[in-house]
Structure 1
Amino acid sequence: MLIRKAPIAGLTENDVTPKRLYMNRRKIMAAGGAVALTAACSGPQPDAEAQSAARAGAGEPLSFRETAYTVSDGELTPYDAVTGYNNFYEFGVGKSDPARFADAMTTDPWSVEISGHAERTGVFGLEDIIDFNALEERIYRLRCVEAWSMVIPWIGVPLSTILEQFRPTSDARYVAFETYLNRDEMRGVRFPVLDWPYREGLRMDEAMHPLTIMAVGLYGEVLPNQNGAPMRLVVPWKYGFKSIKSISRIRFVAEEPETSWKQSAPREYGFYSNVNPNRSHPRWSQSSERVIGAGPFTRRDTEMFNGYDEVAPLYAGMDLNEDY
């Protein structure tokens, strides 16, 4: 089990030490400014953790409420690994391409089109969708289908609080999402890697589950472009490609929506995409994962639903090897 619901004061020092470092970011900056980091995908030493804290302070800070959502094992992935090792094919297929090229994406102002089976639809600004006075921190593990994982302190709000604003009708059985698309700003979409724009979706009960959040920040700061600015899903019990980035459209639909990776390679990527160590990808095992930022040989066993056992009732009676 990865999620703890205990009071924050009940966490151990081992749980919160990395957070203590990054929460000192303003003091670090006042003392001497942010420290530039070299690329970090190796195991962090204490000095490297302090440098990661300083680097996190270089962005725009967010005010948020601390919660007891945290993982029970593993330290936070260093900031430079979180922001420098990404999948965001709109900027290239290399893991470093998003960090190199995503600055070209315009994220302010930002609008989102809401449509489908809801009483309230239209085009809304970011501040009309996200209550920035209700942000909270949740430390979740992001598990990628390529068999690697990160532990990230996300800042956001429950997705349910966003969807409820638009009063979906009883016909809304699924929620479909689309990523922003601008061929002038996104060099990767010049190539037919996928059928652009990127599309994802959730069943309504998955979207409304308390663990599902819309993130606008990480490490106490606004999301960098390469991590999905200004708003992205985080669905911690599913493989990372379900947590769609830079969302510009949300639709309430009656039928299971078409999703990009399922359309591209249905044998490899199903609609549900729940983390399942018992169902191998056709080209590799999903039984273990490489821990990014903890050294090239550090691995951990993959847990069903990424360890978030409380979502299991959503799939009662389903064959999760068939409904993958």
Structure 2
Amino acid sequence: MWIRKKHPWDIPESEVTDYQVYLNRRQFINGAAGLAAASTIPLSFAAKAPSGEAYADLQPSDFSTEEKLTTYESITSYNNFYEFGTDKESPSALAADFPDRSKPWMITVDGECDKPGQYDYNELIKTQTLEERIYRLRCVEGWSMVIPWVGFPLAEVLKQAQPNSKAKFVEFTTLYDPEQMPGQRRRVLDWPYREGLRMDEAMHPLTLLAVGLYGREMPGQNGAPIRLVVPWKYGFKSIKSIVRIRFVEEMPLTAWVQANAGEYGFYSNVNPDVNHPRWSQRRERRIGEFLKRETLMFNGYGDEVAELYSGMDLKRYF
């Protein structure tokens, strides 16, 4: 049985939604900005107020960290979202008006389940209790952030579909629409983008369907309107702009495993002892900081998730 343990970094039972409160409590603008020119990865920029509709009555979460947040400016301007370009800056420029929120966004849930169906995004979130969860995000490229997501547990949607005994994995698919997503006009990957989790990973309380950040709706470049967040895995596992969730019996072929299985394994748990073929994973650069820090096993969520991999060789199942 999964038992929640308290940690020194657990957030107190207080809600954090107002941007000025974020600024005052965590002192975003600090001396690190002056060191930006010396880093190969941009440090935090001057604070920028969030845009988009604000969410009311967000619930705090025991899963949140109290680490200093990455600024909204950095989170929304330094992105990997190849559907909008392969550099870090293109997504914020090309996804500014994505998606068209006047049109329905439909999410299909099907496969090995007793109650498949289609969900209108706007109707779906009305049935959920939205939480603010402040998670660490570690990219396989060696940089990291701390992001205040808004969302709800993926398990809440999965349970509604009533997966059957054949459901061993969950496959996720991103929207395929080259007109809206110009990066899909290039064969960078075999579009649409696909990711997957084992059922126990998908049902874990930490696994989040995120619909916003900094208390407001999700920006296009960060995966609007709805994305996955799996904080103990490298960031590319947290698939963006989801249109399909499918229960399957066999391990799904994910986009990056298909592109280069030697570099991007199915599990992709953050592990400082397993290097990327072209660089070490022992250290990371937190956006907003100059000096590198040690990478934590499972991105610091080992107490919660290590038991999922009991008996597995994590160097083999990378």
Same fold (TM over 0.5): yes
1:259 aligned residue (250, 254, 258): 254
Change (3 A) 1:22 1:261: same
Does 2:19 align with 1:22? yes
Identify the residue that residue 191 of structure 2 maps to in structure 1: 196
Deviation at 1:120, TM superposition (A): 1.2
Contact 1:2 1:71 in 2 (8 A): no
Does 2:179 align with 1:184? yes
Which blocks of at least 5 consecutive residues in structure 2 are unaligned? 23-35, 37-41
Q: Alignment partner of 2:96: what SS?
A: helix
Change (3 A) 1:75 1:21: farther
Deviation at 1:21, TM superposition (A): 6.5
Deviation at 1:246, TM superposition (A): 0.2
Does 2:98 align with 1:105? yes
Identify the residue that residue 167 of structure 1 maps to in structure 2: 162
Q: Alignment partner of 2:91: what SS?
A: helix
Q: In 2, distance between residues paired with 1:133 and 1:256? A: 29
Which blocks of at least 5 consecutive residues in structure 1 are unaligned? 26-39
Q: Alignment partner of 2:261: what SS?
A: coil
- 1:193-229: CA deviation from partner (whole Å, max 9, x where unpaired): 0000000000000000000010001000000000000
Contact 1:176 1:252 in 2 (8 A): yes
Change (3 A) 1:84 1:43: closer
Instruction: Specify which structure has the higher proportion of helix.
Output: 1
Does 2:121 align with 1:126? yes
- 1:292-320: CA deviation from partner (whole Å, max 9, x where unpaired): 122xx321100100010110000000000
Alignment-mate amino acid for residue 8 of structure 1: P
Identify the residue that residue 323 of structure 1 maps to in structure 2: 317
Identify the residue that residue 284 of structure 1 maps to in structure 2: 279
Identify the residue that residue 63 of structure 2 maps to in structure 1: 69
Q: Alignment partner of 1:142: what SS?
A: strand
- My pick for the range that moved more, 234-243 or 114-123, is 114-123
Contact 2:107 2:118 in 1 (8 A): yes
Q: In 2, distance between residues paired with 1:3 and 1:168? A: 33
Contact 1:2 1:307 in 2 (8 A): no
Deviation at 1:6, TM superposition (A): 5.4
Q: In 1, distance between residues paired with 2:283 and 2:224? A: 29
Identify the residue that residue 27 of structure 2 maps to in structure 1: none
Deviation at 1:104, TM superposition (A): 4.8
Deviation at 1:23, TM superposition (A): 5.3
Identify the residue that residue 212 of structure 2 maps to in structure 1: 217
Contact 2:128 2:152 in 1 (8 A): no
Identify the residue that residue 31 of structure 2 maps to in structure 1: none
- 1:47-85: CA deviation from partner (whole Å, max 9, x where unpaired): x4xx44xx12x321012111232225x410010000000
1:300 aligned residue (289, 293, 296): 293
Q: In 2, distance between residues paired with 1:281 and 1:227? A: 24
Contact 1:69 1:138 in 2 (8 A): yes
Contact 2:17 2:214 in 1 (8 A): no
Alignment-mate amino acid for residue 254 of structure 1: E
State TM-score, norm by structure 2.
0.86
State TM-score, norm by structure 1.
0.85
Over the aligned positions, Cα root-mean-square deviation in angstroms equals 2.2
